[in-house]
Amino acid sequence: MKNAIVIALCLVLTLALSCSDDAPAGPDGNKIECEDDQLYNPRTEECVTIVGPTNDVGVDAVGADDTSTRPDIEIEPDAEADTVLEADTELEVDIEVPFDPECDKDLDGILSYECGGNDCDDNDFLRSPERAEVCNGVDDNCNGVIDDGLDCTFYAHTATTLYKVNPFLGTTNKQADLLDAAGTAVSLLDIDTHPRGSLYGISRTALFVFNDPEKYWVRVAALSGVGDANGMAIDNSGMAFITAAGMLITLDLSQVEEIVQTQGLAASNFTGITLSPVSSAITGGEYYSSGDCVVNKSNTLFMTSKHDPTQDHLITIDRVTGEGTELGAIGFKQVFGLTAGWGQLFGTTLSGQLIGIDRTTAQGKLLHSFENRRWFGTASTPSR
C-alpha cells in the first residue's frame, strides 16, 4: 500500500511538470481539448487521465503541506520487527563462568587465596571465614588468630602451684600458690570443677574451694574415711567421686556448694562441716588408682590404673555399682592427672608430660613436655 501511494504521487508530479492544461495544437494544427481530469502529454501527444490515490486511503486534492487534510494512514506493524524488538528488550542473558575445581579443593564453597578468595586452607573443609572458632589450636575462621576469644585451658597443679594449661598451644600460666588465707601451704592430692564453676581440691583430711578473686584456698569441710585418696572427679549433677587404691568413694557436695553460692567463701561459713563418704569397691579386675579420675560431659567416669607395673591403663567405672571395665594400656606411667574437655581426654604425668588419650583404645600420645613440672592433679575450667 505504501509503495502504491508513493508511485501515484510521483506520477502526479511528473505529469504536472511535463504536461499543461493549455490547449495545445495537434498535428493538424487544431487545438486539442482535454477533459477536466486530464492533462495533455506532449511526448505522447495525447490527453492522459490524472492518476492518484483513491479515497480508500483518504488522500485529498490538496497540497502536501496542508496538515489539516493530510491523509490519515494506518500502517500495519511489521510483526517480525516487533518480535525482534521484544526479544532484544526482555531477553536476560545468564553468563556462566567456567569453574576451576582447583579453586575449591575442600568443596566448602569458599575460593582459595590463589583464586582470589579468602579460604586460608583449601585442603581443610573445617577451615574458612564462615566457620566458628573452636578450641583446637587452629585458626578455624581464617582471621589470622588461633582460638581467638576462647579460653582453651584447664587447671593443673604441682605440689606447690596452680596453673592453667593450654593443651593445644603447649603453654602454662601460673594462677596461684597452694596457700590458704593465712599463707599456710595446702597439700592437695587432686582438684576438679563443680558444674556451677567452683574449683574444689582434696587433701587426705579436708575439702577445699579456691577463692579465685583472692587467689587462695578455703577449707570448707573435714573428710573422714577417704583412705589413700589420690583422685577426685565431679559429675554433671555435682556429686563427687574419689578414687583411693581399689575403692570408689562418693561425696555429696550439695551442702557445701549451696553455702558457696549463697553466702560466699568466708571461712566462718563452713565451721563444723564434716562430709561422710560412701565407699564401694572397684570390681571387675585388679584395678588400683594410679592418681586421678574424671567424668566427661557424657557422665562417663574414667580412672587411670597402675595394676600393670610397666604402664598405666585406662578404665571406666560404673558410678553406681563400682564395676570397672578396662579400655586398654595408655603407654605412659604415673598418669596422675586426667581431664576431659572439647571432646577430648588429656592426661598429665609426674614427669611433666601432657598427653592426649584416645577414649576408645586408651592409647596415649605425647603432646608436650614441660620442664621442671611434676603434675599431680588436673581439672577442667568452667568454660570447657
Calculate mean pLDDT across residues 211-225.
Answer: 95
| Exposed/middle/buried for residue 100 (C-beta within 10 Å: 0-12, 13-18, 19+) | exposed
Q: Are 351 and 291 in contact (CB under 8 A)?
A: no
Q: What pLDDT sits at residue 191?
A: 97
Q: What angle do CA 153, 158, 162 make, to 5 degrees?
A: 45
Mean pLDDT estimate for the chain: 82
Q: What pLDDT sits at residue 57?
A: 43
Pairing of β 324-329 and β 344-349: unpaired
Residue 3, pLDDT above cutoff 80? no
The CB density around residue 29, as the number of other CB atoms within 10 Å, is 6
Residue 177, pLDDT above cutoff 80? yes
The CB density around residue 379, as the number of other CB atoms within 10 Å, is 28
Nearest to 294 by CA among 374, 220, 193, 163: 193
CA 42 – CA 48 distance, rounded (Å): 10
Q: Are 60 and 73 in contact (CB under 8 A)?
A: no
Question: What's the chain's Rg over C-alpha atoms?
Answer: 50
Residue 2, pLDDT above cutoff 50? no
Calculate mean pLDDT across residues 129-154.
Answer: 90
Q: What pLDDT sits at residue 4?
A: 45
Q: What pLDDT sits at residue 357?
A: 98
Residue 268, pLDDT above cutoff 60? yes
3-class secondary structure for the chain?
CHHHHHHHHHHHHHHHHHCECCCCECCCCCECCCCCCEEEECCCCEEEECCCCCHHHCCCCCCCCCHHHCCCCCCCCCHHHHHHHHHHHHCCCCCCCCCCHHHCCCCCCCCEHHHCCCECCCCCCCCCCCCCCCCCCCCCCCCCCCCCCCCCCEEEECCCEEEEEECCCCEEEEEEECEECCCCECCCCEEEECCCCCEEEECCCEEEEEECCCCEEEEEEEECCCCCEEEEEECCCCEEEEEECCEEEEEECHHHHHHHHHCCCCHHHHCCCEECCEEEECECCCCCEEEEEEECCCCCEEEEECCCCCCCEEEEECCCCCEEEEEEECCCCCEEEEEEECCEEEEEECCCEEEEECCCCCCEEEEEECCCCCCCEEEECCCC
Confidence class for position 252, pLDDT limits 50, 70, 90: very high
User: Where is pLDDT greater, at 333 or 68?
Assistant: 333
Which of the residue ranges 43-52, 98-107, 197-206 has the most confident prediction, judged by mean pLDDT?
197-206
Confidence class for position 218, pLDDT limits 50, 70, 90: very high
Q: What pLDDT sits at residue 106?
A: 72
Q: Are 307 and 313 in contact (CB under 8 A)?
A: yes
Tell me the whole-structure pTM to 2 decimals. Answer: 0.71
Calculate mean pLDDT across residues 184-213.
Answer: 96
The distance of Cα 228 from the centroid of its chain, to the nearest Å, equals: 47
Which of the residue ranges 49-63, 70-84, 120-134 has the most confident prediction, judged by mean pLDDT?
120-134
Q: What pLDDT sits at residue 208?
A: 98
Confidence class for position 358, pLDDT limits 50, 70, 90: very high
Residue 384, pLDDT above cutoff 90? no
Q: What pLDDT sits at residue 64?
A: 45
User: Where is pLDDT greater, at 128 or 184?
Assistant: 184
Q: Are 315 and 359 in contact (CB under 8 A)?
A: no
Q: What pLDDT sits at residue 76?
A: 55
Residue 319, pLDDT above cutoff 80? yes
Which residues have a Cβ under 8 Å from the Cβ of 330 and sit 6 or more positions away?
A: 304, 311, 312, 313, 314, 347, 355, 357, 362, 363, 364
Residue 25, pLDDT above cutoff 70? no
Range scoring the smallest mean pLDDT among 16-30, 132-146, 225-239: 16-30
Domains of the chain in sequence order: 2-69 (no CATH), 102-149 (no CATH), 154-380 (2.120.10.80)
Q: What pLDDT sits at residue 112?
A: 77
